[in-house]
Amino acid sequence: MGAIIPSFVTFSLRPVLSVLNNVDHVVANSNYTKNLAIDLGVDEKKIVLINPGIDPVIEIPKKYLDEAEQILKGKKNRLITVSRFDKRKNHEKVIMAVRNLKEIYPYIIYTCIGYGDEEEKLKKISN
């Protein structure tokens, strides 16, 4: 399903699309961004997907590891999400699903790690 792009947006992007279609490669950091670029008219063959990674050499402070251990201690069924709290990512649906799973798996724990526009809303519905 493609994005619906208003004509004024497409018109204002024509110079940008002209540049993007005259380069060797366009780098997208997610499938969402790649598909958005395609929907806007960027040649799919020019798009290279490179997802952001993590820096494995950064050591996590013991304080945070201990805190995580306390939260997860004794929990057998763990779900963890690490992402931006964006409405399109449907964290709200996951929280509701976990509530339903609690009846079957009373010790299940769902941990959301991230930030974003939906953070306060997610905190409210998770209590």
Looking at residue 45, its pLDDT comes to 92
Instruction: With cut-offs at 50, 70 and 90, classify the pLDDT of residue 113.
Output: confident
Question: Which residues constitute the domain of residue 107?
Answer: 62-126
Distances (CA, A) of 74 to 1, 9, 17, 108, 110: 42, 52, 53, 10, 14
Looking at residue 48, its pLDDT comes to 93
**Taking the alpha carbons of 22, 26, 31, 36 in that order, is the dihedral positive or negative?**
negative
Are residues 45 and 75 located together in one domain of the fold?
Answer: no
Instruction: With cut-offs at 50, 70 and 90, classify the pLDDT of residue 121.
Output: very high
Look at the chain and report how many structural domains it folds into.
2
Q: What is the pTM of this model?
A: 0.48
Looking at per-residue pLDDT, the higher value among 71 and 37 belongs to 37
Are residues 34 and 75 located together in one domain of the fold?
Answer: no
pLDDT digits (tens, 9 = 90+) for 7-23: 444 556 677 777 777 88
Are residues 33 and 83 located together in one domain of the fold?
Answer: no
Are residues 86 and 122 located together in one domain of the fold?
Answer: yes
Are residues 27 and 71 located together in one domain of the fold?
Answer: no
pLDDT reading at 5 higher than 50 = no
